[in-house]
């Protein structure tokens, strides 16, 4: 079976199916640090992201951007789904950050949010969905389109076959996004799990809060069907 040739360019873009504007999912760009810094000064953005430091400094934005660009340069030149899958899920990797590189949500060229897939820390071979969106762009169905596009790309080009998504117990909008996404992709209702997690002292008072978790399977498009599995089988 011949392998598909993957796009290895470092600046990639997918147009989102969102009415009323030019919206895209892209890789990070060298010019994104200032916009990211400004977005994380907004409490409604920063407080929902448990791992983002608060206060958020320009140095934090530059460090994150530098790390993301390094990960992009490491992952996208890989030529097969299997190579990308192995590097993405490699727990012994010396890369400080492993995320599917297509994750930045843009309106035109402007960064307005992020939708990422990272290796889940609690389960091997499971990707975890994470996202944020600038409040000026809420209620436009942008995040639904972005999560679908990122998961499709991750299944096709990184061989991700199972994902999980989490939402804080009071974040009803986020719960609806994840629940709808899980149902669409799995073809039915996905049972959620409930847990508790402590927030940082600088966010929401540092309290323990309810966290809801969904886990579901994703499938690649037909043209990518068997790319990962065929490569793994050929190694045996």
Q: What is the pLDDT of residues 50-82, one digit of tens each?
A: 889 999 999 999 999 999 999 999 999 999 999
Give the pLDDT confidence score for residue 232 in this predicted structure: 45
Q: What is the pLDDT of residues 119-137, one digit of tens each?
A: 997 677 899 999 999 999 9
As a whole number of angstroms, the distance between CA 177 and CA 179 comes to 6
CB 216 within 8 A of CB 179: no
pTM: 0.91
Q: List, in sequence order, every residue forming a beta bridge with 104; answer none if it has no partner.
A: 26, 114
Question: Which residue in 62, 97, 77 sits closest to 7, CA to CA?
Answer: 77
Q: If residue 78 lies in a helix (H) or strand (E), which one and from where to where?
A: none
The 10 Å Cβ neighbour count of residue 65 is 19
| Burial (CB count <10 Å: 0-12, 13-18, 19+), residue 54 | middle
Q: And the tokens for 217?
A: 């399977």
Q: What is the pLDDT of residues 168-201, one digit of tens each?
A: 999 999 999 999 999 988 877 788 899 999 989 8
């Amino acid at each position: 079976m011949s392998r598909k040739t993957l796009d290895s360019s470092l600046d990639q873009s997918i147009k989102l199916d969102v009415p009323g504007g030019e919206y895209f999912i892209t890789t990070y760009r060298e010019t994104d640090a200032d916009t990211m810094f400004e977005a994380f000064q907004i409490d409604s953005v920063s407080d929902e992201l448990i791992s983002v430091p608060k206060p958020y400094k320009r140095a934090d934005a530059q460090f994150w951007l530098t790390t993301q660009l390094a990960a992009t340069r490491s992952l996208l030149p890989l030529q097969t789904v299997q190579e990308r899958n192995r590097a993405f899920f490699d727990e012994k990797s010396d890369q400080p950050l492993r995320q599917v590189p297509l994750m930045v949500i843009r309106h035109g060229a402007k960064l307005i949010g992020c939708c990422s897939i990272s290796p889940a820390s609690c389960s091997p071979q499971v990707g975890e969905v994470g996202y944020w969106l600038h409040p000026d762009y809420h209620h436009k169905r942008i995040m639904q389109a972005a999560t679908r596009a990122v998961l499709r790309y991750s299944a096709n080009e990184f061989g991700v076959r199972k994902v999980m998504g989490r939402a804080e117990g009071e974040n009803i909008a986020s719960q609806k996004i994840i629940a709808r996404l899980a149902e669409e992709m799995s073809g039915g209702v996905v049972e959620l799990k409930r847990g508790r997690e402590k927030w940082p002292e600088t966010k929401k008072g540092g309290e323990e809060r309810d966290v809801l978790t969904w886990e579901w399977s994703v499938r690649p498009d037909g043209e990518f069907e068997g790319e990962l599995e065929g490569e793994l089988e050929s190694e045996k």
